[in-house]
């Protein structure tokens, strides 16, 4: 559990920085353990997603078509209309780009799953801490059983969250969503 010091309470930015550091450290650890093919896939995806790649692809395609429709005098067409070679190259390129993008997306999905798990753990810790704080405040305010009966919302807040019940309900809902 992340503990705060007196300085953290005084300076909210320090808390935010510490939380960001935990997530950055988690992502850095995952990124440092990538295999060579996954690192290559990430690098290619970063390149494929640039305007530079788009304009290079666009330029090559336009030049290819201009040459092969006989618009350049003295240059013999090597892939006349309907540009079967260009179509094949574009198709094979699209297949490889799709595979590379899927590899990169799978890694990112794994990181997102870990982030979600971390967030869930932090939320559960916060919920326990808030419930404890409410109990202490209720005790300090002299909340008797009679007062609790009058304030059903407070009484509900003072109960521990049934995490296993929530998990079971969610699993059941997901199962119903998956099966038609």
**In this predicted model, what pLDDT tens digit does every residue of 116-156 receive, in sequence order?**
888 888 898 998 899 888 888 878 777 555 555 557 777 77
Band (pLDDT 50/70/90 cuts) for residue 13 is low
Q: What angle do CA 59, 65, 67 make, to 5 degrees?
A: 100
Task: For residue 2, give every residue at least 6 positions away whose Cβ sits within 8 Å of its Cβ, in sequence order, or none.
Answer: 18, 19, 22, 122, 125
For helices 84-140 and 12-32, the axis angle rounded to 10 degrees is: 140
- Indicate the angle between helix axes 84-140 and 36-48, nearest 10 degrees: 100
Question: How many CB atoms are located within 10 Å of the residue 60 CB?
Answer: 12
**Residue 146's pLDDT is what?**
55
In this structure, are residues 131 and 160 in contact, taking their beta carbons and an 8 Å threshold?
yes
pLDDT digits (tens, 9 = 90+) for 14-71: 666 666 676 677 778 878 888 898 899 999 999 999 999 999 999 999 999 999 999 9
26-37 pLDDT, tens per residue? 778 878 888 898
Sequence-ordered alpha helix ranges (H) in the chain: 6-10, 12-32, 36-48, 51-68, 84-140, 145-150, 152-157, 163-178
Residue 114 and residue 167: Cα distance in Å, rounded? 17
Does residue 42 contact residue 111 with C-beta atoms inside 8 Å?
no
């Amino acid at each position: 559990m992340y503990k705060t010091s007196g300085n953290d309470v005084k300076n909210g930015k320090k808390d935010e920085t510490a939380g960001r550091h935990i997530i950055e450290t988690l992502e850095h650890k995952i990124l440092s353990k990538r295999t060579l093919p996954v690192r290559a896939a990430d690098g290619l995806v970063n390149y494929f997603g640039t305007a530079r790649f788009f304009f290079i692809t666009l330029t090559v395609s336009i030049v290819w078509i201009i040459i092969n429709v006989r618009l350049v005098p003295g240059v013999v067409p090597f892939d006349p209309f309907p540009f079967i070679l260009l179509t094949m190259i574009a198709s094979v390129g699209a297949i490889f780009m799709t595979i590379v993008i899927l590899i990169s997306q799978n890694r990112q999905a794994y990181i997102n799953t870990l982030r979600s798990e971390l967030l869930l753990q932090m939320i559960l810790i916060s919920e326990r801490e808030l419930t404890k704080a409410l109990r202490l405040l209720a005790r300090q305010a002299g909340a008797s059983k009679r007062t609790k009966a009058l304030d059903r919302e407070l009484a509900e807040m003072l109960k521990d969250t049934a995490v296993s019940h929530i998990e079971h309900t969610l699993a059941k809902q997901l199962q119903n969503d998956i099966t038609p």
